[in-house]
Amino acid sequence: MTDAEARAEKLSRELDSAFRNRADLYRLFLDELTGELGAERAEAIMIRTIEQRGKEVAAAAFARFGPNDAAAIGEAFLAVSPDGGLMYPTDVERRPDHIAFKVKRCPLKEAWIEAGVGDEKLATLCRIAGAFDRGLFEATGVRFDNVTWTPGHGSGCCHIALTNRDAAG
């Protein structure tokens, strides 16, 4: 293995670890806020905050796109997927006015499962994390649909669909 390959492998592990750390922070914040404010308010606060961060990222990442650029926005999103798409591998469905992703692996979800989080809390954490995507994509004006993981959803993670605002319904 070359030095460059070893470095790339090390950076990939470090990136995965950073995302798992993010998952742990979400879990711990949810626990603390739930203890102080109750489950409903805790979730609502986290969702608003994480959605706002998604909007901030969209302002920089997708400023050149409009509400009828769903496919281009989706391709731009895939192009910057962490670790060349290995961190969040997806099945992608493409049409001229639409793009959809079925996320097959999520390091956040994996970290929560490894931490022993039960299905109900896992579904809550997935909804909370999905707020980032909502903020990110809705800020562009495209139609956004997201189904986050719930019990019975299978082994994968969220399913995201972007459709041009003016596309037939």
pLDDT, tens only, 26-38? 999 999 999 999 9
Q: For the residues 15-42, what does the mean pLDDT come to? A: 96
pLDDT of residue 153: 84
Hey, which residues does 91 pair with through a beta bridge? 102
pLDDT digits (tens, 9 = 90+) for 75-93: 999 999 888 888 889 999 9
Task: Dig out the tokens for 112 from the structure.
Answer: 């929560």
Q: Is the pLDDT of residue 154 over 90?
A: no
Q: For the residues 113-138, what does the mean pLDDT come to? A: 97
pLDDT digits (tens, 9 = 90+) for 100-110: 999 999 999 99
- Number of neighbours of residue 2 by Cβ within 10 angstroms: 7
pLDDT of residue 86: 81
- Number of neighbours of residue 153 by Cβ within 10 angstroms: 15
114 — phi, psi (to 5°)?
Answer: -65, -25
Q: Is the pLDDT of residue 136 over 90?
A: yes
Q: Which CATH architecture has domain 3-163?
A: 2-Layer Sandwich (3.30)
pLDDT of residue 3: 92
Q: For the residues 61-74, what does the mean pLDDT come to? A: 97
What's the pTM value of the predicted model, to 2 decimals? 0.92
